[in-house]
Amino acid sequence: MAERDAGRIFTGREVTSDLDLTADVCVVGSGAGGSVVAARLADRGARVVILEEGGFYPPGSLPLSEAAVYPRLYQEGGARATADLAITVLQGRTVGGGTTVNWTTSFRTPDRVLAHWRSVYGLDALTPAALAPHFDAIEKRLNVHEQPDDGVNPNNRVLHDGAGRLGWEVARTRRNVDGCQNLGYCGFGCPIGARLSADQTFVKDALARGARLHANARAVKLVREKRRFTEVVAEALDPATDLPTGRTIRVRPKLVVLAGGAINTPALLLRSGIDLAGKVGTRTFLHPVAAMFGKHPAPIEGYYGAPQSVASHQFADRGAGKVGFFLEAAPVHPMLAATALGGFGAEHEELMAALPHASALIALSIDGFLPKEEGGTVSLRSDGRVRLDYPVRPEIWEALREGCKALARVHLAAGAEAVYSLHDEPVEIRGELDIPKLDRAAWEAGRVQLFTAHQMGGCRMSRDPEDAVTTPELRLEAHENAFVVDGSVLPTSVGVNPQITIFALAHWASDHVASAIRLG
């Protein structure tokens, strides 16, 4: 390939007049999916333009305060949620996408999940053997390795020791870090650039090979002529206010790669009038999360130290008809804790006053595997805002309830004085005899706080054209020159933290994307 000057990142402030760009490939989104495709295509000589709606905040550029980072690094200023506010949606929105605020837990896609995808969705190519070289390449670039024992903070130690004493499977996790100082601020955008997120790796690789990235560039419409996309229209946003500046960026590519994530990719398709007979934006899965706060006699200081370094998959497979779940820890910073904790007034203050002694453990339900499980739906409101609905099925409520019981037992086994659910009327557990209280609690939307940090589906890949939004090679159905390469193609949830799955799938899919264009 010809030598090409390195590309760079342009912010919205630099777009002082309307721009018309031509490219071989226009990638919408710079997270785990988009960054890898951009880097791999640029490596093959493609002229790549990346559009990223979020801003560009290099490591250390933001103060480590929740008030500063949530509005800048998260979707909807950190306020994204399901329409009924029952599930808080933590989802990144910045150069590097979700990987830039990810808590670094790095699992490969479990074999049983791949087997399910092959048998139910005809994704025959996705075998552990076929994907292994792609996982290897990703893990090498992201320096994925097991967290050393002395890097397990007291919050994760609660899960490690508690589950261990109960005789449950529990293990230290692998993390994508290099030179990590275990500060505890992964979710704030690593202040020292030690987390090898997309912005620190594949985005840089893409830029080094000539790609051009526009931050603060919100793709608003895909323009089509019959089955071919001719143009991606984006509006430039002011980095200070996040409001449109009035400048437009038009990219005319040979090929479009949609990589805005499981909520924004379906939304962009819908905005462009593409719903593929109502399939776009359906079957969204979230790993719905419930949490239990443990008050421990010793200081936990859950705001410091690597936020996640231990996981238990003891209950991931609970048999046919039951929804599995896995157990992890969550960081305990004041704002996140305050909005999560149940109740209000003096009772809430009492829990907040115990913050240094609080351990937060989470149960993540593995959705999407029941027969006819529909999950959630992404749609557009009449005023253009994206809307996410997720009716929690009884089987998922059951899993969250059992998950909270398991977490309560872990806390108690690790020596907690008291354990609290996140119900509006928090369930207090001081011993094994209190655990049945959780059976009597209200497991209903809006009566117990739920979360999701893992958004999947909405543009599912499938062999069956009647069911698919993308082909098994991630090509957008019924169109000639578009691929979807992000978490939205996943036909179910993953059963583990999904970032490595999305990175590796993008690495694998890059070959298919490359074969779809003639370069030059």
Partner 1 sequence: MSRRRPSPPSLALPGEPYGRRSFLRRGLVGAALLALGGGGWLATRKTRVGPSAAGPLKVLSPQEAAVLLAVADRLVPERQGFPRPRALGLATEMDAVVAMAHPATQLELKRLVRLFESAAAGLLLDAQPRLFTESTPAQQDQRLRAWQTSRIALRRTGFHALKRLVYASYYASPETWSAVGYPGPPVETGVAGRRAR
Q: Smallest distance from the beta carbon of 326 to partner 1, in angstroms?
A: 26
Q: Which of 1, 8, 20, 77 binds partner 1 (CB under 8 A)?
A: 77
> At CA 454, angle to CA 448 and CA 457, rounded to 5?
110
Q: Smallest distance from the beta carbon of 447 to partner 1, in angstroms?
A: 7
Using CB under 8 A as the binding rule, whether residue 120 contacts partner 1 is answered as: no
Q: Smallest distance from the beta carbon of 304 to partner 1, in angstroms?
A: 7
Residue type, 338: A
Using CB under 8 A as the binding rule, whether residue 382 contacts partner 1 is answered as: yes
Question: CA–CA separation, 383 vs 56, rounded Å?
Answer: 27
Nearest to 330 by CA among 194, 74, 155, 80: 155
**Segment contacting partner 1 by CB under 8 A, of 170-178, 249-257, 340-348, 473-481:** 340-348
Residue type, 14: E
Cβ-contact 96, 197 below 8 angstroms: yes
User: Of 224-263, which residues contact partner 1 (CB under 8 A)?
Assistant: 240, 242
Q: Which of 35, 39, 57, 290 binds partner 1 (CB under 8 A)?
A: 57
Q: How many residues bind partner 1 (CB under 8 A)?
A: 58
| Half-sphere CA count of 439, side-chain side, radius 13 A | 4
Q: Smallest distance from the beta carbon of 252 to partner 1, in angstroms?
A: 30
Cβ-contact 185, 191 below 8 angstroms: yes
Give whichever of 91 and 462 is closer to partner 1, judged by the CB atom.
Answer: 91
Using CB under 8 A as the binding rule, whether residue 333 contacts partner 1 is answered as: yes
Give whichever of 238 and 275 is closer to partner 1, judged by the CB atom.
Answer: 238
Nearest to 340 by CA among 419, 196, 450: 450
Q: Smallest distance from the beta carbon of 61 to partner 1, in angstroms?
A: 5
Using CB under 8 A as the binding rule, whether residue 83 contacts partner 1 is answered as: yes
Cβ-contact 234, 216 below 8 angstroms: no
Using CB under 8 A as the binding rule, whether residue 381 contacts partner 1 is answered as: yes
**Segment contacting partner 1 by CB under 8 A, of 199-207, 352-360, 459-467, 471-479:** 352-360
Cβ-contact 149, 164 below 8 angstroms: no
Q: Which two tokens stand for residue 151?
A: 């890097």
Using CB under 8 A as the binding rule, whether residue 338 contacts partner 1 is answered as: yes
Cβ-contact 8, 213 below 8 angstroms: yes
Nearest to 471 by CA among 274, 41, 480: 480
**Segment contacting partner 1 by CB under 8 A, of 73-81, 134-142, 152-160, 360-368:** 73-81
Q: Smallest distance from the beta carbon of 27 to partner 1, in angstroms?
A: 25
Using CB under 8 A as the binding rule, whether residue 122 contacts partner 1 is answered as: no
Q: Which of 2, 5, 67, 515 binds partner 1 (CB under 8 A)?
A: 67
Give whichever of 96 and 184 is closer to partner 1, judged by the CB atom.
Answer: 184
Q: Which two tokens stand for residue 171?
A: 């293990």
Using CB under 8 A as the binding rule, whether residue 337 contacts partner 1 is answered as: yes
DSSP state of 343: S
DSSP state of 315: T
Q: Smallest distance from the beta carbon of 323 to partner 1, in angstroms?
A: 23
Q: Which of 273, 321, 345, 394 binds partner 1 (CB under 8 A)?
A: 345
> At CA 212, angle to CA 209 and CA 218, rounded to 5?
145
> At CA 385, angle to CA 381 and CA 388, rounded to 5?
75
Using CB under 8 A as the binding rule, whether residue 445 contacts partner 1 is answered as: yes
Question: CA–CA separation, 474 vs 469, rounded Å?
Answer: 9
Using CB under 8 A as the binding rule, whether residue 346 contacts partner 1 is answered as: yes
Give whichever of 307 and 472 is closer to partner 1, judged by the CB atom.
Answer: 307
- The β-bridge relationship of strands 217-225 and 228-237 is antiparallel
- DSSP 3-state of 88: strand
Using CB under 8 A as the binding rule, whether residue 424 contacts partner 1 is answered as: yes
Using CB under 8 A as the binding rule, whether residue 349 contacts partner 1 is answered as: yes
- DSSP 3-state of 74: strand
Q: Which two tokens stand for residue 202?
A: 């594949």
Residues of the shown chain interacting with partner 1 in the complex, contacts defined by CB under 8 A? 57, 60-72, 76-79, 81-86, 183-185, 191-192, 240, 242, 303-304, 333-335, 337-339, 344-346, 348-349, 352-353, 355-356, 381-383, 385, 387, 424-425, 445-447
